[in-house]
Structure 1
């Protein structure tokens, strides 16, 4: 099967240089690279799995969601008080 791949100029230049250094064709290098990439397990992590390391590391007021309006009002009043 023949496939066309569009590469940015710097990447194509690097690929051509590496192929020349190793005495390999571009097709051979790309086949090897795709084989190595596809041999890795697919990453299908959930949002929880991606953030698992940071969950619970930071804490704040337990009632933050319940009292958000009054806390925002306090912040707003403090901010406006400093301007006057």
Structure 2
């Protein structure tokens, strides 16, 4: 993908100097800087964060769910069937 940006003259000069000093292209430096910025500002979500709205929580279910899981499952299935 091609992206055009406008830089002020000072920033453009700094970018050109950095590219010459490092032997990398201006595009490479801009892409690397953008990657670093995005990693800090928009961190990748963990698998839990991606699905947390789908998971139950400590206050989300009955206290005896572990002991009565089969009963709760049967009730849930009956309720879906009866709709």
What TM-score does the superposition give when structure 1 sets the normalisation length? Answer: 0.48
Q: Which has the higher helix share?
A: 2
What TM-score does the superposition give when structure 2 sets the normalisation length? Answer: 0.48
